[in-house]
Chain A
């Protein structure tokens, strides 16, 4: 299926030092393996590219896949700390209901939790964009500067 990426999203991808082809490969891989979650109107897929976990938020529109946004974090997803409630999301690969929860994230020797979408059965976690682009980005920046 064709993957459509607007200039604005492309600029965001390049601003994160990622390549458009890498994002297309991420989406094609998620489509093939069904390793993605959906809330009925869009999909969220992730892939580790080097040290970075990259997410593609995309929708099916008129026979093509339109990329809504791409975001990333350097923190490493670890164990699920807890899960509290069902969400509107489903894990396409298994059909399991995705739960709201908390996952440990480790970065430069420190481990702390952050809210996440979780699948307790597989142990998989996904960070939502608001968190990855803000709180986690600030924390990564602060820690990177400390170690610089």
Chain B
């Protein structure tokens, strides 16, 4: 028998109007159920494990609303987002798209790059205006991800990065397919010299059969070469994996193994269960999706329990059902041992979760740092060298469940901390910005970028 877990609002996948929705538990799964008066009803699975879903609410932080709001007169969430005074969480990651052009033409693309029917390629001055929006609305330290399209099609990307740094943006990461990074060392060095802090590498597996499905061409050698180049230049990389149950869910263990072998250049693996917005092959059924708990179980199974489902915690920065994260030390035999565990329970003071997490992690590293005091030791076989390695050889394995027009709901949108920056000065939750109706109409993307 179904149990109602809560009432929320959502979008009609056909007309994008706001409609009422319920979250229900049935057969140990959580579903979102909604009905549009004109276009029918939908029941879509969003979680596996009802008790786990409920328990995670105990990890919810008291969120801090944004400093300023673009939208003064709110009509109906999420129709006029920008943000408004009903939004519950500040921005932690600002996504700035610098082009919609791309040097690939992937069958799956949230941005529908090279196929949306318009060109978006802002000038540096227009991009600076978006940086100014961030400086005006988001408190320090500001983290910006330059995205696209493919940002590295721009020869002036180093100038864009330098402009951001000169304006006071503290951290810049570039979201890339790594193609240019694999073949153009001068360009990579120019990005690093301009102050880029890290890369977000699209990385779908360690087998070209996967890339042929997701990217339309073999890419594994490209990724390996790009990681090697980043190691030479000293830029850290997070491997970002779009996970599909039909393509690469059975490959997540191998991806983690590959990542562990490539620390310290590779700092983390970030899994993103496939979300159906932008360009995708067909309207999804539940079997075409993977929930965060199912992904965690697969990671446990495929890593032979080295990384367990219980090692993943919600960051509590956004909604507790949006993400999960683990941190492990990579041992010299390539194995992981996790430092995070659900066994620790929810934080006792949830209103300072971000500070608490940062403090605990920094105390741990400080402890390791201090342990290196004293007279020097000899040889790689010493305990000192082992501890020294732990300082650099760590790996985060995390995941984020983006929401599309079928799975999205207001409870999560209004707690989102990952925001797209628009040329007209808005900050819009990433998922909402990219929500696409069944006929390809986007919720915000086209309106924001097509001029």
Contact B386 A112 (CB under 8 A): yes
Restricting to B366-388, which residues have a CB under 8 Å from any CB of A? 367-368, 370-375, 377-379, 381-387
**A115 — which chain B residues lie within 8 A by C-beta?**
374-375, 377-378
Contact B383 A146 (CB under 8 A): no
Restricting to B356-415, which residues have a CB under 8 Å from any CB of A? 367-368, 370-375, 377-379, 381-387, 390
Q: What residue in chain B is nearest A141 (Cβ atoms)?
A: B367
Contact A139 B387 (CB under 8 A): yes
Contact A135 B337 (CB under 8 A): no
Is A113 interfacial (CB-CB < 8 Å)?
yes
Contact A139 B386 (CB under 8 A): yes
Q: What residue in chain A is nearest B380 (Cβ atoms)?
A: A112
Q: What residue in chain B is nearest A135 (Cβ atoms)?
A: B371
Contact A138 B371 (CB under 8 A): yes
Q: How far is the CB of B330 from chain A (nearest CB, A)?
A: 11
CA distance A50 to B416 in the complex (A): 52
Contact A142 B384 (CB under 8 A): no
CA distance A115 to B374 in the complex (A): 10
The contact of B378 among A75, A102, A146, by CB within 8 Å, is A102
Number of residues in A with C-beta < 8 Å to the partner?
19
Known: A112-B382, A113-B381, A113-B382. A138 touches B368 (CB 8 A): yes
CA distance A114 to B337 in the complex (A): 23
Is B331 interfacial (CB-CB < 8 Å)?
yes
Q: How far is the CB of B387 from chain A (nearest CB, A)?
A: 5
Contact B378 A134 (CB under 8 A): no
CA distance A134 to B339 in the complex (A): 18
Known: A113-B381, A142-B387. A130 touches B374 (CB 8 A): yes
Is B329 interfacial (CB-CB < 8 Å)?
yes
The contact of A146 among B337, B367, B373, B387, by CB within 8 Å, is B337
Contact B378 A135 (CB under 8 A): no
Interface 1/0s, chain A 59-86, versus B by CB < 8 A? 0000000000000000100000000000
Contact B329 A134 (CB under 8 A): no
**B371 — which chain A residues lie within 8 A by C-beta?**
134-135, 137-138
Interface residues on B, range: 20 to 34
Q: How far is the CB of A141 from chain B (nearest CB, A)?
A: 9
Known: A135-B387, A136-B383. A146 touches B331 (CB 8 A): yes
Interface 1/0s, chain B 99-114, versus A by CB < 8 A? 0000000000000000
Is A131 interfacial (CB-CB < 8 Å)?
yes
Contact A114 B339 (CB under 8 A): no
Q: What residue in chain A is nearest B389 (Cβ atoms)?
A: A142
Is A145 interfacial (CB-CB < 8 Å)?
yes
| Max chain B Cβ within 10 angstroms of own Cβ: one of A115, A130, A135, A136 | A135
Is A105 interfacial (CB-CB < 8 Å)?
yes
Restricting to A99-130, which residues have a CB under 8 Å from any CB of B? 102, 105, 112-115, 128, 130
CA distance A138 to B366 in the complex (A): 11
| Max chain A Cβ within 10 angstroms of own Cβ: one of B375, B387, B390 | B387
Known: A131-B374, A134-B374. A142 touches B337 (CB 8 A): yes
| Max chain A Cβ within 10 angstroms of own Cβ: one of B339, B379, B383 | B383
The contact of A145 among B337, B379, B385, B387, by CB within 8 Å, is B337
Contact A138 B339 (CB under 8 A): no
**A142 — which chain B residues lie within 8 A by C-beta?**
329, 337, 386-387, 390
**B338 — which chain A residues lie within 8 A by C-beta?**
145
The contact of A139 among B339, B374, B381, B383, by CB within 8 Å, is B383
CA distance A112 to B337 in the complex (A): 19
CA distance A135 to B385 in the complex (A): 9
**B382 — which chain A residues lie within 8 A by C-beta?**
102, 112-114
Contact B339 A113 (CB under 8 A): no
CA distance A112 to B385 in the complex (A): 9
**A102 — which chain B residues lie within 8 A by C-beta?**
377-378, 382
Known: A139-B386, A139-B387, A146-B337. A113 touches B379 (CB 8 A): yes
The contact of B377 among A114, A137, A138, A146, by CB within 8 Å, is A114
> Nearest 8 CB-CB pairs, A to B?
A146-B337, A134-B371, A130-B374, A135-B371, A138-B371, A112-B383, A139-B383, A114-B383
What are 15 A-B interface contacts by the 8 Å CB criterion?
A102-B377, A112-B381, A113-B379, A113-B382, A113-B383, A114-B377, A131-B374, A134-B370, A134-B373, A138-B367, A138-B368, A138-B387, A139-B386, A142-B329, A145-B338
B positions within 8 Å CB-CB of A: 329, 331, 335, 337-339, 367-368, 370-375, 377-379, 381-387, 390
Q: Besides A102-B382, A138-B368, A146-B335, 19 other CB < 8 A contacts? A: A112-B381, A112-B382, A112-B383, A113-B383, A114-B384, A128-B374, A134-B371, A134-B372, A135-B371, A135-B383, A138-B367, A139-B386, A139-B387, A142-B337, A142-B390, A145-B337, A145-B338, A146-B331, A146-B337
